[in-house]
Amino acid sequence: MHVVPRRMLLSISALTLATLLAGSEVASAATPAPAAATVTAPAQAAATARGWSATWTASPQRPGANYTPNWSEQGFANQTIRQVVRVSAGGVAVRVRLSNAYGSASLKVTGATIARTANGAAIRPGSLRHLTVNRARSFTIPAGGELASDAVPLPLGALDSVTVTFYLAAPTGPATYHAQAMATSYRATGDHRVDGSAAAFSETSQSWYYLSGVDVIGAPRRDGVVAFGDSLTDGYGATFEADNRYPDELAERLAAAGRPRAVLNQGIGGNRVTVGSAWLGDKATSRFRRDVLSQPGVGTVVILEGINDIGMSEAPSPMDAPLTEVSAGELIAAHRDLIRQAHAGGLRVIGATLSPMKGSRYYTARSETKRDEVNAWIRTSGEYDAVADLDRALASPTDGDQLNPTFDSGDHLHPNDAGYRAMAHAVDPADLD
């Protein structure tokens, strides 16, 4: 159990919530954000300067159909949504960020709470706190905007779980969401934001809704790390609800070494570097500013993207639309764009090699040639500040083009829990500073 020193808790409690958030440039109920932008790089810099650090994130996606059933297209009305997330680094106070990035209208949140997680949808007694914006319990997020709550004194340790609950009385319309949570979200009819038990939350989903970030303040500072990528970052193939995605494993590794720091998962299943789609998220070069550069308190980004650009050129399906042929040269040029964006934002950038895919639906002689060319550039060009060689970490000892069977989730493309752990151990902690 993480124990926060009493003197630290008292010092943070002595600060007013308004002081903690003074000068915020994140969109609030009082100051609508422009529809064309969610959060800006100056907002990230301002939040970082005040001591906020993101400790959990999920990349927003457009409402729509996806690999598993979800509630995004229908939205919500007179319903309470309860979502459980595990933070990567702790602090003495917390705030929550909600995103209406793909909403067509303003989102009215009637009320929201945060609490320590018990089991499932239940929360720990005595831990519930109301979330406010400008000290109001009801607030509105403009279409295209993101909102940060006021600070809440709630001491958290590395790897603690929190439960965020919000009640949506008025019809929301289609909801901004994150498709593949690899975790359970809960829904109840009516207002159950303060319920301690799970009894009312009889409906479940495997996606996250509106929730885009949890930030902490007041802990010893180490710059956070953004893991940016596709389903290999999002965690497809890992055990459901076990927090075994590779960013989770990296956070655990750093915490176990006595040097906990935020590790933020900004993966989207099926995402591509060069092509955006309704199902699979905006292309990486477009979403990088929002999903990486706008996160407070980060210093490094690990980029693992491109296997879908290659594979979907060979094995398209309706969900991948539009069908686009992507060459290795085009993919390398897009990686250079990501590197430029990261450096312009003051971040150290680590390139991760593309992992083996032989035996998967993506594999052909042509796609393998592209993968080899991109990996050779990542390893040898010197354009990345450091390299995490996931290809070699995950490869079979008898066939370098194939996943090690020990690490294969079964589709010859996505790792299992052991594979995600191996990915985390392929990232050198010394490269994060």
Q: What is the pLDDT of residues 37-88, one digit of tens each?
A: 333 345 555 666 579 999 999 999 999 998 889 999 999 999 999 999 999 9
ω into 322 cis (within 30 of 0): yes
**Closest by Cα among 214, 210, 165, 154 to 187:** 165
Rg, the chain, Cα only: 21
Q: For 169-245, where are the alpha helices, taking DSSP H only?
A: 231-234
To the nearest 10°, the Cα dihedral for 179, 185, 189, 195?
-150
With 80 as the cut, is the pLDDT of residue 288 above it?
A: yes
Residues 329 and 377: their CA atoms lie apart, in Å, by 10
Cα-based distances in Å from 253 to 156, 244, 404, 423: 18, 12, 22, 11
Strands (E), 58-195: 79-86, 91-99, 107-109, 111-116, 129-131, 139-141, 146-148, 152-156, 161-168, 177-178, 185-189
Other beta carbons within 10 Å of 58: 29
Cα separation of 207 and 186, whole Å? 10
pLDDT of residue 319: 72
Beta strands 139-141 and 79-86 are: unpaired
- Compute the Cα dihedral for 404, 408, 414, 418 and give only its sign: negative
Q: Is the pLDDT of residue 129 over 50?
A: yes
The values of phi and psi at residue 131, to 5°, are -95, 135
Nearest of 259, 245, 279 to residue 89 by alpha carbon:
259
For 41, 95, 292, the CA distances from 44, given in Å and listed in that order, are 5, 14, 10
Is the pLDDT at 111 greater than 80? The verdict is yes
- Confidence label for 315 from pLDDT (cuts 50, 70 and 90): confident
At which residue do the structure tokens 């440039």 appear? 25
The pLDDT of 393-409, averaged and rounded, is 98
Is 14 a residue whose pLDDT tops 90? no
pLDDT at residue 30 above 70? no
Q: Please give the mean pLDDT across all residues of the chain.
A: 90
Q: Is the pLDDT of residue 201 over 80?
A: yes
Q: For residue 261, give the DSSP letter.
A: -
- Cα separation, 357 vs 403, in Å, equals 7
Q: What is the pTM of this model?
A: 0.90
- The per-residue pLDDT for 74 is 97
Q: What whole-number distance in Å separates Cα of residue 248 and Cα of residue 233?
A: 10
Averaged pLDDT for residues 293-306: 98
Instruction: Say yes or no to pLDDT of 419 above 90.
Output: yes
Distance from C-alpha of 227 to C-alpha of 263, rounded to nearest angstrom = 7
DSSP string, 319-353: GGPSP----HHHHHHHHHHHHHHHHHTT-EEEEEP
Strand order in the sheet with 203-205: 129-131, 111-116, 161-168, 79-86, 185-189, 203-205
In this structure, is the dihedral angle defined by the CA atoms of residues 412, 413, 416 and 418, taken in order, positive or negative?
Answer: positive
**Predicted confidence (pLDDT) at residue 404 exceeds the cutoff of 50:** yes
Backbone angles phi, psi at 395, to 5 degrees: -70, 150
Helical packing angle, 365-380 and 307-314, nearest 10°: 160
